[in-house]
A and B are shown apart, each in its own frame.
Chain A
Amino acid sequence: MKRITVLIAAAGLACNLLGELSVAEIVERANQASYYAGDDGSADVTMTITDKGGSVRTREFRVLRMNTGQGTQKFYVYFKKPADLYKQVYLVWKEVKEGKDDSRWMWLPALNLKRSIAPGDKRISFVGSDFVYEDVSGRSLKEDKHELVETTDEQYVLKNTPVNPESVEFASYTVWIDKQTMLPRKAEYYDKSGKLLRTVEAVKVETIQGFPTVIESVAKDLNSGSTTVNTYSAIKYNIGLNERIFTERFLRRPPREAVR
């Protein structure tokens, strides 16, 4: 018995030496690569939501992000288009500690209204698109059990099963992660009967300031037949954002980093 354990341990070591990663390492690195690149960053997003019938809704906004230590992050989302959403702002403080909820605020300029939003479901659609909040800010690694189902030359394929299945709309999801960049390239969400519900795909990736960066991603809702394409431009890392930007005061008076 003891011998077997030693053997397994040795095998594990050998794998690591050969450059193969453990499941925990894979998810951790993928998480870092997709959500934590640099100390902070800024990007312009053009969001195109196309429904089954072909009608299109477009949204343009700038996202400012800042890593604030121990996995916490702050996001400032500033809308430029369409004209009727001009200057609308979402502010999010992301928490990762168990039992701690994110904080969210919004600013609706046409209503001259600032509201704080109660922590709630992170699987809510992001401004009506096929992306959910969790796609934007990342899903806590502790919420799923991860399982490496396949390793190809280029990718790791992971199956992820929620620890608390009642809390989410899916039963499991599979993620394909590029070995080279450690960026997840595709995620497929399935329901209990094994029906594909939703896919999120990183269609285009470029290296910007040394960080592999998704510059186009697509989310599809298979139930409604709706598709959302996000294209990212003017991506900048390590721009030295002031953390004070991510406060309520900057809702009404957007920072120059968002406006210009």
Chain B
Amino acid sequence: MKRLKMTLFSTRYPWLIVALTLLGVVFFGAQFPKVKFDNDPENMLARDEHVRVFHNEVKERYRLYDFVIAGVVNTADEDGIFNVGSLRRIDALTRELISLRENADGLPEVIRNGKPFVPDLQPASAWKRMLAHVFGNDVNNLFDEAGHSVIINGEIISPGVVDNIRQDGQGQLAIEYLMEHAPANREEALVVKHDAMNNPLYKGTLVSEDGQAIALYIPIVAKTYSYNVANLVEKLTEEWPESDQIYITGQPVAQDTFGVEMLVQMASSAPLAGLAIFLLLLFFFRRISLIVAPMIVAVVSVVCTMGLLIGLGYDVHIMSSMIAIFLMPISVADSVHILSEFFDVYPRFRDKAETIKHVVSHLFKPMLYTSLTTIAGFASLATTPIPPVRVFGLHVAFGVALAWVLTMTLVPAYIMLFVRTKTLNALKPEEHKEHRGMLSRRLAAVGTLSYRRWKTILFITVAVIVVSIYGISHIRVNDNPVKWFTKNHRIRVADQVLNSHFGGTYTAYLTLKPASADVMNLSRKLTAIRDRIRTRMEKGTEGTQEFEAILDGFMTRSGKSGQVDEKVFFSDLTVRVEALDAQINGVWLTLGDAINYLDPDKVTLPSIMQAVQGKGDVKERQQLIKALESLGDISGAVLQERALEFVDKKTKTSFLSLLNEALAEINAPAFKQPQNLAWVERLQEFLKTVPKIGKTSSAADALKKASFELNYDADADLQRNNSFYSIPQTPSAVAQVFVQLEGMKKKDSLFHLVTRDYGEVNLWVQLKSGDNTDMQSVVEMTKAWIHDNPAPMKMETGWAGLTYLNVVWQEKMVAGMLNALFSSFVVVLIMMVILFRSVLFGVLAMIPLSVTITFIYGLIGLVGKDYDMPVAVLSSLTLGLSVDFAIHFLERAREMTATTGSWKKAIEKMFQEPAMAISRNAIIISVGFTPLLFAPLVPYKTVGFFLATIMAVSWLATLFILAALITGLQKYLFNKEK
């Protein structure tokens, strides 16, 4: 027989097979040292994915970095975190982080109390140290290739290094850091509190509104360093008193920590699952020598698949770390069928080779098809738009194929070589019988039930499906990388604590830019200038006619030559207008100038008269002197001021000033225009009301704060001062306040919120939740608000930030998975039709898996579990695994009906040996994965739970529903056969 060739060859040359297998293991195993890990969920999106490219553009444009958030909470002190001790420690920590460098031994070193200090960054537990070593996870890796610290010192957000504008108490404006020096006493500490609370950029971000917490934002060059930076912070704060609690979070830390712990999981969960499977096999078959074979198949498949992945240069991603766990049950399944059957029929043949031949010839077709369907299920993932999922799917498919080959070759070879005939012959039939009896009595009952009460069973099935569909309609598609940790995990705790104190640790960026730059041509600009000047100047005011004449002249000039250098053009215009100013106001300007240069202390009327002697015109001079004489007996600075005031009154408005004002307005980029900034302000007001948004920060916030401080007058009343807590009214005023912010101590910090040309702005949105559903509703609500409240000029909005990125890849994931599920469903259906050469049988084979998938997703919807990444991936696993039971069942059912003559007779037999094999398989896989339930990472728990459930449900679906359906349809099914 052709199909037996491979197996017969293996029984003949078992050593060759073993040698080949060893060779394969050595080859693929040799790839392992090349392993690289990638914990970045961002890579769920292809590098050239639009949203990812945009995200990186935004990061680049506004110089934004991923940061580690280290929150310090003090609830013990009456001043909260603003007590001298805590602030000193925070300041010291900041300095230490800034001083981080690589010492001569290549170890991280900070400056503590003026001396170099090398913290011990290694984990305390020897097991973790060992794992870190094995996985090449070096906690001392805090430097880039050039040996520079991965912390971006200039961008750290901490009280000691962020800008603050304040009144220094002597009427002067102080531009300094929020906490120039660590406070020496309570008063100084409370000044820091006061300043921080009065800065809209810091309240809710750097300091909590309740005054109990301060959060440091530590920017890093790449997300992959965040675990190490978090670890560094933990070690540097190890000796802090109990009252200062440190919490470290932020998406990069969560992701990186997940990556690190995922490796620990890989190293512990997979072997534990293997062990559990081993123990169960032992329980069923009672002979270690027999069950070692499936274990070897599983291990070899996993090793080769992972070796292939690594060898091909793929990084081990969150997805691919699960390959081992997925592959294990699948690869064991086939060999369990063989063993199960081998075990049952050996007594009949009493010859290993003969038994194998019988078993394999018997199982070849179902096993081939079960493997093919599983391969189809996983390979369909290659159609998803998510690169790591594609890699995962194809590699699992490879692993399944390999497991099948191994089952066909290595298992027989193993039996030939290592299972002693004596042992097999020594099997006591009684023991065998008795053991079988336990399970099979119940199975027989199931069989009877399925036959007699098939209508009831089908009714129940329909009911379950209806309820499940209802459940599916309630499925909530949601994911949140932080929720990949269990509730008590320190990251979840930190997340919860910090989000209760602060505006939110989840970051999204909302960028706004004018939809199209409104480029005015020269003549439009000139018209605009003239219109502005007309509204400002009363008709007939001296010079307006001349001014308009000048403009007209330039208007003609702009019309004549096609390409005019605007700079030169306006430069010329300025010169002309300057001349006009001199012509109109020249006399008064000269007089004023003469007075201005006088020594204020020595000003007297005669000294003024002397100063203006011969300047300007006699007429104006006389006017001035007459006016000053009328003031009476005053001198000195007072007289000088009055004289200048008089001159000012006489001076006409400068056309150059007007021209510049007009130019400033015409040329103002979008976000120097007060009306656009006011709109941003309104948008922020709205965002504040959106659930889960804790805080937003914008350039408008910085502007208002600076305007307030600049205009602050200690002698003025509160109302007057507060009125300046607003957006200045003209583009020039906005520009002049912004330029002060440009020259702050921390250079360019303004440009995280606005581009340098003030053409685009970026709103930093802090969310208290990283749930994709929350982010999604933020996006939708914002869109709706902007639609209802359009900006003065049409704005384009764009979202970036890790929280938003997660939403996008999730959407792709869901759509991609659904697509993959449907396409593999169709492929498997076609396979089934071919396999059974019957449409009806083919459709029948699809029923248990359809029921299982419907039930599982219905369950997810009903219990309110989020449809997240691991759940999505499970759908393909369900398809691949559930159909296996159906194939075995139907194949045998047909065979038995043929041999016994009727389904009624066949069903009795069906519920003996074949049902046994299916049940063993189901139990092994279900129970085998319970160790995953104890994993500290939720995705592993999910996989563990659902694997067990999938097995249980598809087992039930196969034994009850299929049997019941066959009973109901036997006329059509078996008549056709004949």
Contact = CB atoms under 8 A, between A and B. Distances in A.
Given A110-B732, A117-B175, A125 B742 contact: yes
Contacts of B735: 82, 84-85, 110
Given A125-B742, A126-B743, A244-B599, A84 B174 contact: no
A249 interface: yes
Contacts of A242: 597
Chain B: interface size category: 35 or more
Contact of A118 (B168, B744, B756): B168
Given A57-B757, A84-B664, A124 B728 contact: no
Nearest to B600: A249
A32 B862 CA distance: 82
Interface string B473-502: 000000000000000000000000000000
B727 interface: no
A40 to B, nearest CB: 15
A235 to B, nearest CB: 20
A117 B172 contact: yes
Contact of A109 (B175, B734, B736, B757): B736
Contact of A55 (B149, B172, B756): B756
B214 interface: no
Interface stretch (A148-156, A209-217, A220-228): A220-228
A121 B748 CA distance: 16
B706 to A, nearest CB: 11
B730 interface: yes
Contact of B644 (A55, A123, A253, A255): A253
Given A84-B735, A195-B148, A244-B597, A111 B173 contact: no
B593 A255 contact: yes
A86 B657 contact: yes
A256 interface: yes
Contact of A221 (B153, B176, B707, B747): B747
A51 B171 CA distance: 35
A127 B733 CA distance: 15
B59 interface: no
Contact of B756 (A51, A82, A121): A51
Given A87-B657, A118-B168, A125-B744, A224 B728 contact: no
B101 A116 contact: no
B596 A118 contact: no
Contacts of B597: 242, 244-245, 255
Nearest to B644: A253
Nearest to B153: A191
Contact of B592 (A86, A121, A253): A253
Contacts of B148: 193, 195
Contacts of A116: 171-173
A111 B711 contact: yes
Most buried by B among A84, A116, A253: A84
B172 A249 contact: no
Contact of A192 (B99, B711, B742): B99
Contacts of A160: none
B154 interface: yes
A49 B172 CA distance: 29
Contact of A115 (B173, B667, B739, B747): B173
B176 A120 contact: yes
Given A128-B743, A221-B747, A255-B593, A118 B172 contact: yes
Nearest to A191: B153
A45 to B, nearest CB: 15
B667 A83 contact: yes
Contacts of A82: 664, 667, 735
B918 interface: no
A242 B598 CA distance: 10
A188 to B, nearest CB: 16
A121 B730 contact: no
A18 B99 CA distance: 44
A113 interface: yes
A113 B733 CA distance: 10
A128 B728 contact: no
A42 interface: no
A81 to B, nearest CB: 9
Contacts of A115: 172-173, 710
A84 B737 CA distance: 11
B252 interface: no
Contacts of B747: 124-125, 128, 221, 224
Given A86-B660, A244-B599, A121 B745 contact: yes
B147 interface: yes
Most B CB contacts (10 A, CB to CB) among A82, A86, A117, A169 go to A86
Interface string A121-148: 1011111100000000000000000000
A131 B246 CA distance: 39
A137 B101 CA distance: 33
Contact of A84 (B101, B173, B731): B731
Contact of B149 (A193, A253, A255): A193
Given A124-B175, A127-B743, A193-B147, A83 B660 contact: yes
B791 to A, nearest CB: 21
Interface in A218-260: 221, 223-224, 226, 242, 244-245, 249-250, 253, 255-256
Interface in B592-629: 592-593, 596-600
Interface in B712-754: 728, 730-737, 739-740, 742-745, 747-748
B755 interface: yes
A57 B756 contact: yes
B704 interface: no
B672 interface: yes
Contacts of B812: none
Given A88-B736, A116-B173, A224-B747, A127 B742 contact: yes
Contacts of A69: none
Nearest to B146: A195
Most buried by B among A51, A83, A120: A83
Nearest to A127: B743
A2 B34 CA distance: 67
A251 to B, nearest CB: 11
A84 B710 CA distance: 17
A9 B728 CA distance: 66
Contacts of A244: 597-599
B455 interface: no
B652 interface: no
B716 to A, nearest CB: 13
Interface string A100-112: 0000001011110
B637 to A, nearest CB: 9
A223 B747 CA distance: 11
Interface string B172-196: 1111100000000000000000000
A224 B742 contact: no
Contacts of A99: none
Interface string B65-93: 00000000000000000000000000000
Nearest to A249: B596
A68 B10 CA distance: 102
Contact of A226 (B168, B732, B748): B748
Interface string A70-99: 000000000000111111100000000000
Given A111-B736, A126-B743, A244-B598, 4 more contacts: A55-B755, A111-B728, A120-B175, A121-B175
24 contacts: A57-B756, A83-B664, A83-B667, A84-B667, A84-B732, A84-B736, A86-B732, A87-B660, A108-B740, A109-B732, A111-B736, A116-B171, A116-B172, A118-B172, A120-B745, A125-B742, A125-B744, A126-B743, A127-B739, A128-B747, A128-B748, A226-B748, A245-B597, A255-B597
Interface of B: 60-61, 63, 99, 101-102, 146-149, 153-154, 168, 170-176, 592-593, 596-600, 644, 657, 659-661, 663-664, 667-668, 672, 707, 710-711, 728, 730-737, 739-740, 742-745, 747-748, 755-757
The 7 A-B pairs at the shortest CB distance, nearest first, are namely A128-B742, A84-B735, A110-B732, A83-B663, A84-B664, A110-B733, A118-B174
